Amino acid sequence: MLPTHHLLTVGRVERELPVVEIAPGLALAVLDILGDTELVEEAARALAARLESLPFTVVATPETKSIPLAHALSRLLARPYVVFRKQARLYMGETLSVTTRSITAQKEQTLHLSARDRLRLAGASVLLVDDVVSTGSTLEAMRALVARAGGEVIGVAAIATEGDPEAHPGVVCLAHLPLYTAP
């Protein structure tokens, strides 16, 4: 039987994450940081302490859940951030786009980089930030967009990794979340 919750501890903040079945026999602990200022600020402080010596010039993050974390890191480390959007809008100008499929998505997603942010990434040393790194598919899409914009990814940070603990070498993270399988 699958557990109903997973305890996440980030610094002095604890959260009971609901365990949700995402496919028959496969469940994960859902980390949703939107609106959780206490957790976001604690995670940003802890990650900033571990990242301050890394020579990145821009933080980049996918839309939506990890935006508050990227914003907090940007503020703490005094570096700008860009967001890879899930929809292209007219005001974004000519976008660069890459298609991906994350573990929690029910369909393929496309990440778009605006013309303004493409200029910000050109020649930049980039830190990729996400709330959770699981399969790595979103990271690969972000890496592709950074490369197409002329930047270089020099680091990856997340609140947590998920699944196989050995699958994400080099990701600076604060916790690990298991994947749950039902017999």
The model's pLDDT over 10-60, given as tens digits with 9 standing for 90+, comes to: 999 999 999 999 888 889 999 999 999 999 999 999 999 999 999 999 999
Domain count, the chain: 1
pLDDT band at residue 164 using 50, 70 and 90 as cut-offs: confident
Structural domain includes residue 9: no
Dist CA 144 CA 77 (whole Å): 24
Cα 152 from chain centroid (whole Å)? 17
Residue 182 lies in a domain: no
Position 4 in a domain: no
Among residues 120, 116, 121, 127, which one has the least CA distance to residue 59? 127
Residue 20 lies in a domain: no
- Give pLDDT, residue 103: 58
CATH code at position 85: 3.40.50.2020
Domain assignment of residue 80, yes or no: yes
Q: Residues 74, 81: contact at Cβ < 8 Å?
A: yes
Within its chain, how far is the Cα of 6 from the centroid? 20
Question: 7 lies in a domain?
Answer: no
pLDDT at residue 105 tops 60: no
Report the C-alpha gap between 44 and 67 in whole angstroms: 12
Flag whether 154 is in a domain: yes
Q: Which domain holds residue 59?
A: 33-175
Residue 68 lies in a domain: yes
Instruction: Tell me, yes or no, if the pTM score tops 0.85.
Output: yes
